[in-house]
Chains A and B, each alone.
Chain A
């Protein structure tokens, strides 16, 4: 099994080297003449007036948490779907119960308006 992952390891190294090489090529071939106007961050013609790493809406945070929870669900569903023919009726009912419990959570989210983007 591990032998199958050796090409992937090599591929990862190649992809990283390719990425670095392309930036280096750009650096070597391209000009390098910085000036303050050119290097100032884009701001629609205004002078940049404050640090741009501002606080943002807590809503993004909620989306990220819900994403983790659903990602875990998917992680549980994958082995079940693969072994579907072997786990039999018991496994099927178990997963339906699992999904049922999580659908309750999903309905709660929906009714609470957590999925609404105002």
Chain B
């Protein structure tokens, strides 16, 4: 049986082999991401429920486990309403534009030392470029739906995303200075050898700036003015329903998990173990592995939900002030601190 399959495989032309192999790998990445998104929504409702002394969803399936599946099925059977005077083509295209970059960015994430789809040299730059394309989905959705609420929401959201992208970019520069590479795998490997090597210690201000900017970039509470229900209903996606809305939703949550994955790789050592090599030598099951990556990402995702349950919503002018007047100066100062430490003082080793 295996021999016939192998013979069949070898008989295929090489381009088809490459295409099929890559398609299989892509499915192996995309399916868990979509599942993670589904269960992140479940976790969100459950965790915030418990934080507010409620139980959260508990009807569909044992303890509500099937809730996200049912939500997806429900969205599939809902009508996609296209408002009158909307620009039809762009209205349908916007959610696809929001969804596709959020997925493609996963191509360069190293899940462990050997698990990645592709290992390009400029991985971090690639992700930054892709996330900067996410803003199109928002702007086009707001413009194409021809609704005042959607339009205002998309403007607010775009200005906010744009402002925090700068802070995020500057924070990444610090990581690059420490690691000396744009390749995500090399960045993670530079932090191998225990938790005291992780960049979160020398680059703590940058970690805070990066993570909070990530929360703001994905329009999550407490920076969710773009969809503040009490002001502009749901922001840029008021007019969307059914699967078109589901695409926005998937894109937004996939972006959240992406922010967590990047933070884990750049500041928390990715898949590397928090224990020193001496400990790992005696207890080998504590060694590196994808499980460390998943644990770190899950913890950061928990923080996202925790923030939502804890902080009241920021005002829009406060958000813009925080982005431009606090984060950018902090990152600039820290870049100079790293540079000076590396070139003028003997403490450069602190920043590797």
Contacts and interface: CB of A to CB of B under 8 A. Distances in A.
A81 to B, nearest CB: 4
A110 interface: yes
A96 B328 contact: no
A107 to B, nearest CB: 10
Contact of A1 (B121, B155, B170): B121
B5 interface: no
Contacts of B22: 6-7, 10-11
Contact of A33 (B19, B79, B96, B132): B79
Contacts, number: 210
Interface in A69-84: 70-71, 74, 77-78, 81-82, 84
Given A10-B22, A10-B23, A30 B120 contact: no
A19 B98 CA distance: 9
B247 A67 contact: no
Given A67-B163, A84-B180, A117-B317, A26 B244 contact: yes
Interface in B223-278: 233, 238-239, 242-244, 246-247
Interface in A81-113: 81-82, 84-85, 89, 92, 95-96, 99, 103, 106, 110
Size bin of chain B's contact surface? 35 or more
B84 A39 contact: yes
B83 interface: yes
Given A7-B26, A78-B125, A19 B96 contact: yes
A27 B95 CA distance: 14
A14 B25 CA distance: 12
Contact of A78 (B103, B121, B176, B247): B176
Contacts of A51: 85, 146
A11 B99 contact: no
B342 A84 contact: yes
Report whether over half of chain B's contact residues are helix, strand or loop; otherwise say mixed: helix
B63 interface: no
A102 to B, nearest CB: 9
B332 interface: yes
A84 B352 CA distance: 12
A58 interface: no
A18 B26 CA distance: 12
Interface of B: 18-19, 22-23, 25-26, 30, 75-86, 92, 95-96, 99-101, 103-104, 106-108, 117-121, 125-126, 132, 143, 145-151, 155, 158-159, 162-163, 165-166, 169-170, 172-174, 176-177, 180-182, 233, 238-239, 242-244, 246-247, 316-317, 320-321, 324-325, 328-329, 332, 335-336, 339, 342-343
Given A22-B247, A41-B83, 5 more contacts: A4-B119, A26-B80, A26-B246, A84-B342, A115-B324
